[in-house]
Structure 1
Amino acid sequence: GKWHLSSDPQGFDHWQILPGQGQYYNPDFKTVEGRKRIDGHCTDLVTDMALDWLKNREDSDKPFMLMCQHKAPHRTWMPALRHLSLYNDSKIPEPPTLFDRWKDNASPARHQEMEVDGHLNIVYDLFGPPVNGWDPNKGRSVDKSGFRNLMKMTPAQLAAWKAGFSDQNAKLVRDGLTGKKFVRWKYQRYIRNYLRCVKGVDESVGRLMEYLKSSGLEKNTIVIYSSDQGFYLGDHGWYDKRWMYDESMKMPLIVRWPGVTRPGSINTELVQNLDYAETFLEVAGVKVPDDMQGRSLVPLLKGESPRWRDSLYYHYFEFPSYHMVAKHYGIRTSRYKLIRFYQFDEWELYDLKKDPDELKNLYGKPKYADTIAELKQELENLRTRYRDNSDVSVMPAEWQKKYRVDRN
């Protein structure tokens, strides 16, 4: 499935990966034999490949590790044809911050390109009609990959795809929605397509779990479900990811380990994807190299209570780039989050217990001076621990001014 690294997989007995982000319909796959197009929907195809390998693997009596990695629900959201009408009769609840204007955030939140309102493209992202002065080339964050994927569909696929949206698109043109009504329409199209893609992943997990059960592998196979990051589903008026705010910093992690991890148990320790490789190694009985930066989750999965980390480090590096999210680094504890947008020399502090939506910036409040000082010290400790020596200089005023033009 999805690999999204410049190198090919190393150390695997077998692999079939999507080039780059891959495509939802009739995607190409890279293998050791070369590149090959396979017709169908990407989520189904990756699942088929995983099941085929499971059923026909050599040395079937030996332990194995299988990674089944989906493109869905990555932008641009193109669900399987059988799911196009799913949720048509449902109005998906809007997040309370859909119309957030970031009044109390540092300035980077107001100067980005990831708003459902101004940047989620009605044609390229949502497959809607070119209404409200649509500009095909507005902004640096336009993604035409999904629109190009339509050209790769078979005639039957394309006809079914267009039929799935034609009535709703025609109604939008007739209704002439603008302002918040138009934003709400965009949100509903976005979230429905997103959830339709997730439905395909849900079915994939079900197929894999059913095979483990029917084959007798269920009782001695560890299943780990996760993702590469969280995602904004209209929260703060955004789509995409990148920020250190919890909607994108958090990610799912569900583990089924028969006989070891108690079903239904919940662990609230601060874990991160840096811990995954160490966990896999310990489970396999392999010594974890000293230079790896994470910690094995095995003790937590066993229900033990080891001394664990008190904070997480985060650093986003890409600016100026897609979605124009400013570079920032920070620290998150169970209670507080401190973020520094260093190129603009701006800080944010949030009390996650009192303000889980991160709407009230407490940085600079005298009441929190001691907390800020402690967090700054721990932040520097983490930068040292992870050997992050990247340049975090404040940029000159003229440079800052260039990126403070309204990008809507």
Structure 2
Amino acid sequence: MRKYFYLLLLGLASFTNAQTLKKPNIIYIMSDDHAAHAIGKYGGRLAFLNPTPNLDQLASEGMVFENCFVTNSICTPSRATILTGQYSQTNNILDFSRPLKTEQQYLPQEIKKQGYETAVIGKWHVMCEPTAFDFYSVLKGQGKYFNPTFYEKGNGVYPNNIVKSTGHSSDVITEKAINWVKNRDNKDKPFFLMYHFKAPHDWFEYAPRYEGYLADTKVPEPENLYSQPNWGSEGTRGKNDSLIHEIGTSVSRRHPINGYVNYYKIDESIPDKEVTSMAYQKYLKSYLRCVKGVDDNLGKFFQFLKNNGLYENTIIIYSADQGMMLGEHDMVDKRWMYEESMRMPFIVHYPKQIKAGTRNDMIINNTDFAPTLIDLAGGIVPQKMQGKSIKPLLKGKKPRNWRMATYNRYWLHLTHHDIPGHFGIRTQDYKLIFFYGRHWDLNETGKLSRAWLTPDKSFVVRPTPPSWELYDLNKDPHEVNNVYDNPAYAHIITKLKKELKRQRKMYNETDDAYPHIQKIVDEYWDK
């Protein structure tokens, strides 16, 4: 009898230990260009439109990070940073001009070491085969909104392993994600899934079923869409406003080439303010209809997890590859270091360890994503990663040595959306930006959108004036008053520049390799 009782206790202990050691599944969900202020739980002028009820529910069950920021606000560099845990100059992905090397897929490599079955489904956009994953089905390039084509493992040799699909990309990607979880090879293993939407990337081609969504609603407009007399600097406006018709794709007629009034071909006889409002409404409604399509698909996916007993033991993270300008400052697209573009949503759900309904205001950035996921999977973060695991933050801790500021850089200059090259730093209270106004690669300038012919008929990029901008985020959260020249902030500027220089050196983000830029930095550092 004693022997039987002993064996029973041993069996129960073994079962309990196995249950304790069972690793959580991990799902990292990312949308393209989904601004935090287009998620209800983040508040702001769009929240009352209720565009994301499923994401809001996920957020209410977990932790919302209020100060998550991108380090290079365009798709390919941000995705490379998320995979490598490194800043752009270290992983060598400054822009769209070169692919990530297959051996740089550090995140899935490390996760697999912890016994996870891995997959990436949806938008990839780092121009190499996702070889580190057990399974992949990724969009070809940017991907199409309708009837997208995928590269898919098991369907031949890359890049000829093409699979065609029918339907809207958000629906197709979700079905693929559900089918992989349902039919994966080894269900005894925990799984790691990167589930990436194309939406709401420009040109906002939403599924036809959303045509009526917001049709009879006026979307709130930002005040600085129309007026911001103290915003910017010579680097963004030009001397005496000489560049305001050339810098930054606009909603209004401000930019005669890259402006949504022109894109939408709205009647030229309509007055400026009225036509700007018309373009804004069309732009935002198309964007939010794409967002609604993402959220509805997430609702379907979350319900699938619940129905199959997977929801409680799965860490779910929702983010985007950067933010998005939604008419603020009369700007469209990302790339800017302004708040709406730089801020990323970051929501973490894990009922077993995270208290429901919590918010965190510590500064994190996308170099932290890979270290965090590896740490949550039970791995050791490689020293080559420059980010930090936020696992302590998820437990409600505030480490003493946590970063007090985050670095950001846009490496291109006057490409696509006519945005000057710039870098800067953001703390809890301030944002300092230096617009140096040059492209990093002088040999690539002939490919740029804002180019002029020289007498010998070669192309050159027009430099824009170097300048500084400083915003007091407590007094001016919408960044409409540049206070860099205000003597009252001189001591703040000194401290911020010291930290900016420190981070540029620490993260290998100096311009030692780009002397034409470093010369400008040196000349204007103390101006």
Query: Could you say which TM-score interval applies, normalised by the shorter chain?
Result: 0.7 to 0.9
* Matches of 1:108 and 1:50, distance apart in 2: 44
Contact 1:329 1:340 in 2 (8 A): yes
* Matches of 1:283 and 1:104, distance apart in 2: 42
Contact 1:342 1:394 in 2 (8 A): no
Contact 2:235 2:466 in 1 (8 A): no
- 1:149 is matched with none
**Deviations 1:275-312 (CA, angstroms, capped at 9, x unpaired):** 00001111111111112110001111111221211100
Contact 1:320 1:326 in 2 (8 A): yes
Decide whether aligned partners of structure 1 residues 37 and 120 sit closer, same or farther in structure 2, where only a CA change above 3 A counts: farther
The gaps in structure 2 that reach 5 residues or longer are 1-121, 156-160, 238-242, 438-464, 522-527
- 2:192 is matched with 65
| Alignment map for 1:111-260 (pairs within 5 Å) | 111=243, 112-118=247-253, 119-121=258-260, 128=264, 130-132=265-267, 177-260=270-353
* Matches of 2:187 and 2:331, distance apart in 1: 46
Look up the SS of the partner of 2:336 in the other structure.
Answer: coil
* Matches of 2:228 and 2:426, distance apart in 1: 24
Look up the SS of the partner of 2:481 in the other structure.
Answer: coil
- 1:332 is matched with 426
Decide whether aligned partners of structure 1 residues 123 and 39 sit closer, same or farther in structure 2, where only a CA change above 3 A counts: farther
1:357 aligned to 2:478?
A: yes
Decide whether aligned partners of structure 1 residues 245 and 260 sit closer, same or farther in structure 2, where only a CA change above 3 A counts: same
* Matches of 1:181 and 1:389, distance apart in 2: 45
1:322 aligned to 2:416?
A: yes
Q: 2:407 aligns with which of 313, 317, 325?
A: 313
Q: Alpha-carbon deviation of 1:221?
A: 0.4
- 2:493 is matched with 372
Contact 2:231 2:479 in 1 (8 A): no
What code does the residue aligned with 1:338 have?
A: L
1:12 aligned to 2:127?
A: no
* Matches of 1:395 and 1:367, distance apart in 2: 26
- 2:213 is matched with 86
Decide whether aligned partners of structure 1 residues 248 and 270 sit closer, same or farther in structure 2, where only a CA change above 3 A counts: same
What code does the residue aligned with 2:408 have?
A: Y
Contact 1:340 1:348 in 2 (8 A): yes
1:3 aligned to 2:124?
A: yes
Q: TM-score, normalised by structure 2?
A: 0.64
What code does the residue aligned with 2:509 have?
A: D
* Matches of 1:376 and 1:320, distance apart in 2: 25
* Matches of 1:274 and 1:241, distance apart in 2: 18
Q: Alpha-carbon deviation of 1:88?
A: 0.7
**Deviations 1:349-371 (CA, angstroms, capped at 9, x unpaired):** 11100011111111122211111
Q: Alpha-carbon deviation of 1:59?
A: 1.1
Contact 1:232 1:248 in 2 (8 A): yes
Decide whether aligned partners of structure 1 residues 122 and 25 sit closer, same or farther in structure 2, where only a CA change above 3 A counts: farther
What code does the residue aligned with 1:252 have?
A: P
Q: Alpha-carbon deviation of 1:37?
A: 2.2
Q: Between Structure 1 and Structure 2, how many residues are aligned? A: 350
1:393 aligned to 2:518?
A: yes
- 1:139 is matched with none
Q: Alpha-carbon deviation of 1:103?
A: 4.2
**Deviations 1:197-243 (CA, angstroms, capped at 9, x unpaired):** 00011011111111111101111100000001111111111111111
**Deviations 1:301-336 (CA, angstroms, capped at 9, x unpaired):** 111221211100111111131111111111111011
* Matches of 2:207 and 2:470, distance apart in 1: 42
Look up the SS of the partner of 2:335 in the other structure.
Answer: coil
Decide whether aligned partners of structure 1 residues 37 and 108 sit closer, same or farther in structure 2, where only a CA change above 3 A counts: farther
- 1:399 is matched with none
* Matches of 1:311 and 1:93, distance apart in 2: 31
Contact 2:372 2:389 in 1 (8 A): yes
Contact 1:25 1:39 in 2 (8 A): yes
* Matches of 1:103 and 1:351, distance apart in 2: 13
**Deviations 1:100-155 (CA, angstroms, capped at 9, x unpaired):** 3554311333341310013344575xxx5x4446xxxxxxxxxxxxxxxxxxxxxx
- 1:158 is matched with none
The gaps in structure 1 that reach 5 residues or longer are 134-175, 397-408
* Matches of 1:236 and 1:297, distance apart in 2: 32
Q: 1:77 aligns with which of 204, 223, 236?
A: 204
- 2:362 is matched with 269
- 2:23 is matched with none
Q: Alpha-carbon deviation of 1:177?
A: 2.9
Q: 2:382 aligns with which of 269, 289, 295?
A: 289
* Matches of 1:330 and 1:58, distance apart in 2: 46
Decide whether aligned partners of structure 1 residues 220 and 131 sit closer, same or farther in structure 2, where only a CA change above 3 A counts: closer
More strand by share: 2
Q: Alpha-carbon deviation of 1:99?
A: 1.1
Look up the SS of the partner of 1:361 in the other structure.
Answer: coil
Look up the SS of the partner of 2:469 in the other structure.
Answer: strand
Contact 1:2 1:21 in 2 (8 A): yes
Q: Alpha-carbon deviation of 1:85?
A: 1.6
Decide whether aligned partners of structure 1 residues 354 and 49 sit closer, same or farther in structure 2, where only a CA change above 3 A counts: same
Look up the SS of the partner of 1:184 in the other structure.
Answer: helix
- 2:116 is matched with none
